[in-house]
């Protein structure tokens, strides 16, 4: 029996997409695959709103973040990392791991970064060449004001800007070209309504310049190999073909609906979720001004054990929510509402919370 799966990825996959993904295999070096990768790449670029290069990686979103780091950053490069939660911390850890000299601007969980803080950091540390930032932080339910961040990082300081929009792209506006974002990563199990297994990364001209200088060794995630093979309609390594079938189908659905309508749908359901949560006396974890339209983080009510609550929702109501991640465990629970979200599933979540919490 299927759950009412309301985690912020993996998200439920519509039946048509599940069926599309179950098609028989094809040769990943043949003409059918060439059509497939060209179709999927071009449609993903429409959602990214970019004419930059775009590659499909067989990995999770974290693999795409690693590809951003190893392709553009050399050991000892000065990097400003802006973290508003667990995924921001992870992006920073990857940069640390590959030897970057990282300045960590760590924002209190539940808040967005103020672009003025970034301006201050970049003014006081002119050696910084690269800024890494999370667009949509699922661990805290925050969406950073990426457009304003990019105006500072790119417009005022002309630094390289690497963006984790793994869970944002496709659900909330993230127009790569008009916001001038150098590298943007996303993943198939988020707003894309497909299964996990593929990640996407866009690469600007400036990012290619950084790539040509970056000395960090790379093989599996090397963009040059991705580009060489894409010119022949291939991936360098055998890709997750069934997830690519799913993406081809889901992208058609997304583009038929229209990006504006998709964003509006996410906004409507997010507003509904936040209002409903507040109406039963629960408190939002995130600063509401920057609350994400993809996930609502709810503070654990006093005296409530989050682990038990989530377990009861699962066993008694067939509803799966997410807990807090890492150092946020026990402080919150999270309701995912990105991708394919029938409104009645949110109603069911609220009803179950009412009953379980006696509200």
Using CB under 8 A, list all residues that contact its own copies: 2-3, 5, 7, 9-13, 18-19, 21-31, 58-63, 66, 93-94, 97-99, 187, 189, 195-197, 217-221, 236-243, 246, 314, 320, 322-323
3-state secondary structure of 284: strand
Least separation, in Å, of the C-beta of 94 and its own copies?
Answer: 5
Least separation, in Å, of the C-beta of 208 and its own copies?
Answer: 19
Question: Is 194 exposed, middle or buried (CB count within 10 Å of its CB: 0-12, 13-18, 19+)?
Answer: buried
Least separation, in Å, of the C-beta of 20 and its own copies?
Answer: 9
Dihedral sign (CA 66, 69, 70, 74): negative
Closest by CA position to 334, among listed 138, 64, 159, 199? 138
Least separation, in Å, of the C-beta of 129 and its own copies?
Answer: 19
CA angle 161, 289, 62 (to 5 degrees): 40
CA dist 32 and 358 (Å) reads: 56
Nearer to its own copies, 29 or 316 (CB): 29
Nearer to its own copies, 262 or 310 (CB): 310
- Residue positions counted in the chain: 359
Nearer to its own copies, 46 or 308 (CB): 308
Nearer to its own copies, 61 or 110 (CB): 61
CA dist 271 and 278 (Å) reads: 11
Nearer to its own copies, 178 or 327 (CB): 327
Least separation, in Å, of the C-beta of 295 and its own copies?
Answer: 13
Nearer to its own copies, 173 or 187 (CB): 187
Nearer to its own copies, 66 or 206 (CB): 66
Closest by CA position to 294, among listed 347, 260, 336, 333? 336
Q: Judge whether 83 and 104 are in contact, CB under 8 Å.
A: yes
Least separation, in Å, of the C-beta of 220 and its own copies?
Answer: 5
CA dist 290 and 258 (Å) reads: 24
Least separation, in Å, of the C-beta of 333 and its own copies?
Answer: 12
Per-position DSSP letters for 140-184, written without gaps between them: TTEE--HHHHHIIIIIIT--EEEEE-TTTBTTB---HHHHT-SEE
């Amino acid at each position: 029996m299927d759950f009412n799966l309301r985690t912020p990825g993996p998200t439920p996959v519509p039946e048509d997409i599940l069926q599309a993904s179950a098609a028989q295999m094809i040769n990943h070096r043949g003409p059918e695959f060439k059509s497939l990768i060209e179709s999927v790449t071009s449609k993903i670029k429409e959602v990214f709103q970019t004419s930059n290069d775009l590659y499909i990686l067989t990995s999770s979103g974290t693999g795409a973040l690693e590809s951003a780091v190893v392709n553009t950053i050399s050991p000892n490069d000065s990097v400003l990392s802006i973290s508003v939660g667990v995924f921001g911390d992870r992006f920073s850890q990857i940069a640390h791991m590959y030897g970057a000299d990282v300045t960590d601007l760590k924002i209190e969980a539940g808040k967005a970064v103020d672009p003025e803080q970034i301006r201050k950091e970049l003014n006081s540390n002119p050696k910084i060449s690269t800024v890494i930032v999370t667009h949509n932080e699922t661990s805290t339910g925050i969406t950073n004001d990426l457009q304003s961040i990019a105006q500072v990082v790119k417009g005022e300081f002309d630094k390289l800007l690497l963006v984790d929009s793994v869970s944002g792209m496709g659900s909330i506006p993230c127009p790569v070209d008009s916001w001038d974002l150098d590298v943007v990563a996303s993943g198939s199990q988020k707003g894309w309504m497909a299964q996990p297994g593929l990640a996407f990364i866009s690469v600007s001209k400036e990012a290619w310049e950084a790539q040509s200088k970056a000395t960090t060794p790379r093989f599996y995630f090397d963009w040059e190999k991705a580009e060489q093979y894409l010119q022949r309609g291939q991936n360098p390594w055998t890709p997750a073909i069934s997830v690519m079938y799913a993406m081809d189908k889901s992208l058609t659905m997304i583009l038929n609906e229209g990006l504006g309508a998709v964003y509006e749908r996410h906004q409507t359901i997010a507003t509904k979720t936040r209002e409903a949560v507040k109406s039963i006396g629960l408190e939002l974890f995130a600063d509401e001004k920057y609350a994400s339209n993809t996930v609502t983080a709810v503070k654990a009510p006093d005296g409530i054990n989050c682990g038990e609550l989530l377990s009861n929702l699962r066993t008694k109501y067939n509803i799966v929510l997410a807990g807090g991640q890492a150092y946020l465990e026990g402080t919150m629970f999270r309701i995912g509402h990105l991708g394919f979200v029938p409104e009645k599933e949110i109603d069911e979540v609220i009803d179950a919370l009412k009953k379980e919490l006696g509200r």
